[in-house]
Amino acid sequence: MIKFAWAAGLLAASLTSAQAGILSVCIEASPETFNPELTSSGSTSYVLTQIYDGLVSVKSGSSEIEPSLAESWTVSDDGRTYTFKLRPGVKWQTTSNFTPSRDFNADDVVFTFDRMMKADHPYAKVNGGNFITFNTKLADELEEVAKVDDRTVTFRLKRPLAPFIGIMAHQSLAITSAEYAGKLLTAGQPERFDLDPVGTGPFMLQAYQPDVAVRLLPFAGTWGAALGDAARTPAVDGVVLAISQDASVRLQRAMAGECQVALYPNLVDADAIRSSQTLDLVETPVASVGFINFNFRDERFQDKRVREALASAIDLRKLVEIVYSGMGHATGAIVPPALWGFDPDIGPHAYDPDRAKALLAEAGFPDGFPTELWAVPVARPYMPNGRRAAELIQADWAAIGVKAEIRSYEWAEYIQRSRAGEAKVGMFGGIYDFPDPSQILNNYFSCDSQGKPSPSNIGAWCDAEFIDLLNRAGVITDQAERDKLYKQAQVRFHEEVPGVILGGADALTVVAKTVRNYQPAIFGSTRLSGVSVE
C-alpha cells in the first residue's frame, strides 16, 4: 500500500544536497492518484510519468511522437485500424506486494483499455472510475482493442481520428499490469491498484506523504536501461519530489540547496534567478492557456448578455501585464501561439465598463449581483498567480456592481470540486500534452454524444456548432483544413463567451548548476530518467 512512514527528520535529510546521487525536485502539488487513467492533472502526471510508460510518447524536448512500449505501428488504408507491435522483454516492477511472473504483453494493453471502455469490467468503477482523458478523447471513437498475439494489439476506431497517435502519447493512457490487477481482485483489494503503483518506467514509488513529498527509487530493470538508452535510464540513486504549493518557498529551497530543481517559480523572480551563482533559469516555450469559465448550471450565466458584460468589464491587457510579469500575451484565442491552429485575429474582449453596465441592466441586473470567483491555487504556465488574477477581476467586476467572492482550495480538492460543477465562475487552464490543437478544445469545452460535458468542462457549456466543428476537424487528415476548422471553433467560442481566455506564458524551471541533462518537456511531462547530479 502507499507508505506514510517518513518521519520529519528523514524527510529533512532527504532534502539536503549533501546526499550524493539523490535528485530533489520541488513540485507544486500532491498527486491526486497513482494511476494515470484517473487524472489529467499536470502535477500528478509529473509524478506518474516517472513510473509508467505508454505505447508511444512525445520525444523529450520536442514535438515528435516516438515509440515507447510499442516498437512500431501501422495504420489501415481506411484510417480506422492501428496495429501496434509491442516491445519484447519489458519488465514490470517488483514491489513489496507484487512480484510479476511474466513480461509486459498485449494482455496488459487490452486490460488497460477494457477497464476504461467496458461498463461491466471489474475495475470500471473502482476508485470512482472517472477516466478523464479517455472519456473526453476516445470513448466516442474507440470500437475495440484486441490482442492478435502477445506482441501485437489492434485498436479499431469507429471512424478516422486524425490526432489518434498524439492522443496515445498522453500520459493518462499509460499501460498498467493486468496480472497485478488480477491478484488484487482475487485478494478483494482492487482499490489498491490505483494507490500502490506498478509500472514499467525508470522509477518506482518508495514512499508518499501527502502535501510533503513523494520518494522514488530507480528501477534497474526498466526497458530503457536494458536497451542502453541513456535518456530512459535512471542515473541517480533516488528522487525526492518535495511538495510546496508556494512558489516562493520552492525557490527558497532551491537557493538553499534543498532542491536541485524547482518547478514554476514566480515570474517576478526571473531576474534574481538569472543572477544566481548556483542556479540556472530554464525557459521552455510550452503551449498553455488559462481561462475562467461561466457555469451554465447557473441560470444567470445562461444569458449571453451577462457573460458579455463580465467579459467586457475585465481589463485583460492590464491583468496579463501584471500577472504574467510582461511575459504573457493578451488574446481571445484558445489555441496558444506556440501551436498550429492559433488565430492571431481573435483578440481579447474589448475593455468597456460602460457597455458592461448597459448589458447587465438589459439582462435585468442594473445593480449587479453576487457570485463566486474561484482562483487556481498553484502556479502554472497558464496562470502564474491565480489569487492575484482573481483580485484584479474582482476589482473590475465591482466597478459594474458584481460582487465576486474569491474562493480556493488545495489543488486536488480544487480540481475535484471544479469538475463537480461547484464553481460559479471557475479559473482553470491546461498545458498541451501532445502537439495537436484538439486537446484543450476537446478537454475543456466539449460534450459527448449524449450531451454530457467532458470532466474538465467545468462550466458545462455544450454548444452544438462548436462541437460539430471539433468533430469535423477530428476526422480529416489535411492539416490546413483542420487548422481552418479549429479557428472557426475559436471564433464561435469568442462570440458565445462561455468563458474568458486569460493567456499563457513560457514555463520557467529553476535548475541547479550541478544537475545534468534535465530537459523540460515542451509537450507532456518531463522525464527524470537520464538526469544526474554532480
Question: Using one digit for the tens of pLDDT, what is the confidence trace for 35-81?
Answer: 999 998 888 999 999 999 999 999 887 788 999 999 999 999 999 99
Q: Nearest CA to 312 among 351, 276, 370?
A: 351
CA distance from start to end of the chain: 33
Span 364-394, pLDDT tens digits: 999 999 999 999 998 888 999 999 999 999 9
Whether the predicted pLDDT of 14 surpasses 50 = no
Counts of helices then strands in the chain (DSSP H, E) = 17, 20
Mean pLDDT of 1-15: 39
Q: CA–CA separation, 176 vs 457, rounded Å?
A: 27
What is the separation of C-alpha 129 from the centre of its chain, rounded to a whole number of angstroms?
A: 18
The grid coordinates of residue 393 equal 477581476
Can you tell me which residue has the cell 482499490?
Answer: 191
20 vs 519, more confident: 519
Q: Return the exposure string of 138-167: e unless at least 16 CB atoms fall within 10 Å of the residue's CB, then b.
A: bbbbbeebbbeeebbbbbebeebbbbbbbb
Q: Which amino acid does the sequence have at 181?
A: A
Find out if CATH 3.90.76.10 is the number for domain 8-264+509-533: yes
Range name among 137-146, 185-194, 240-249, 323-332 with the lowest pLDDT average: 323-332
- Give the confidence band of 6 by pLDDT, cuts at 50, 70, 90: very low
What is the separation of C-alpha 459 from the centre of its chain, rounded to a whole number of angstroms?
A: 18
Which fold does the domain 288-503 belong to in CATH? Dipeptide-binding Protein; domain 3 (3.10.105)
Q: CA–CA separation, 309 vs 325, rounded Å?
A: 26
pLDDT score of 229: 95
Mean pLDDT of 480-493: 97
pLDDT > 70: percent of the chain: 96
Q: Nearest CA to 98 among 209, 179, 37?
A: 179
Whether the predicted pLDDT of 15 surpasses 50 = no
Q: Nearest CA to 522 among 432, 436, 441?
A: 432
Q: Are 51 and 199 within 8 A, CB to CB?
A: yes
Q: CA–CA separation, 292 vs 274, rounded Å?
A: 32
The grid coordinates of residue 487 equal 479557428
pLDDT score of 7: 35
Identify each DSSP E strand in 134-287 by its residue range.
Answer: 142-149, 152-157, 203-209, 213-218, 238-243, 261-263, 279-284
Whether the predicted pLDDT of 11 surpasses 70 = no
Q: At what angle do helices 106-117 and 178-186 cross, to 10 degrees?
A: 60
String of DSSP letters for 202-224: SEEEEEEETTTEEEEEE-TT-HH
Mean pLDDT of 512-524: 93
The grid coordinates of residue 99 equal 512480484
Q: Are 305 and 360 within 8 A, CB to CB?
A: yes
Span 271-303, pLDDT tens digits: 999 999 999 999 988 888 999 999 999 999 999
- Give the confidence band of 9 by pLDDT, cuts at 50, 70, 90: very low
Q: Nearest CA to 530 among 242, 251, 201?
A: 201
pLDDT score of 40: 83
pLDDT > 90: percent of the chain: 81
Across 128-132, 361-365, 434-438, the highest mean pLDDT is recorded for 361-365
The grid coordinates of residue 157 equal 476506431
pLDDT score of 12: 41
Mean pLDDT of 86-101: 97
Whether the predicted pLDDT of 351 surpasses 50 = yes
Q: What is the mean pLDDT of the chain?
A: 93
Q: Where in the chain is the domain with CATH 3.90.76.10?
A: 8-264+509-533
Q: Which SS3 state, helix, strand or coil, does residue 278 take?
A: coil
String of DSSP letters for 437-480: THHHHHHHH-B-TTSPBPTT-TT----HHHHHHHHHHHS---HH
Q: Where in the chain is the domain with CATH 3.10.105.10?
A: 288-503
Q: Which amino acid does the sequence have at 420?
A: A
371 vs 12, more confident: 371
Give me the sign of the Cα torsion angle 323, 327, 328, 329.
positive
What is the DSSP pairing of strand 152-157 with strand 142-149? antiparallel
Mean pLDDT of 397-404: 98
Q: Are 311 and 493 within 8 A, CB to CB?
A: no
Q: CA Rg, the chain, in Å?
A: 23
pLDDT score of 328: 82
Exposed / middle / buried, residue 63 (Cβ in 10 Å: 0-12, 13-18, 19+): middle
From residue 14, give the alpha-carbon distance in Å to each of 26, 142, 210, 240: 12, 44, 16, 7
- Give the confidence band of 2 by pLDDT, cuts at 50, 70, 90: very low
SS (H, E, C) 332-380: CCCCCCCCCCCCCCCCCCCCCHHHHHHHHHHCCCCCCCEEEEECCCCCE
Range name among 19-23, 83-87, 201-205, 217-221 with the lowest pLDDT average: 19-23
What is the separation of C-alpha 190 from the centre of its chain, rounded to a whole number of angstroms?
A: 25
Q: Which amino acid does the sequence have at 3?
A: K
Q: Nearest CA to 522 among 338, 263, 336, 266?
A: 338
Q: Nearest CA to 267 among 323, 330, 209, 205?
A: 323
Q: CA–CA separation, 467 vs 490, rounded Å?
A: 11
Q: Nearest CA to 315 among 330, 301, 300?
A: 330
Q: CA–CA separation, 207 vs 240, rounded Å?
A: 10
pLDDT score of 472: 94
Q: CA–CA separation, 528 vs 519, rounded Å?
A: 9
Range name among 307-321, 360-374, 440-454 with the lowest pLDDT average: 440-454
pLDDT score of 455: 87
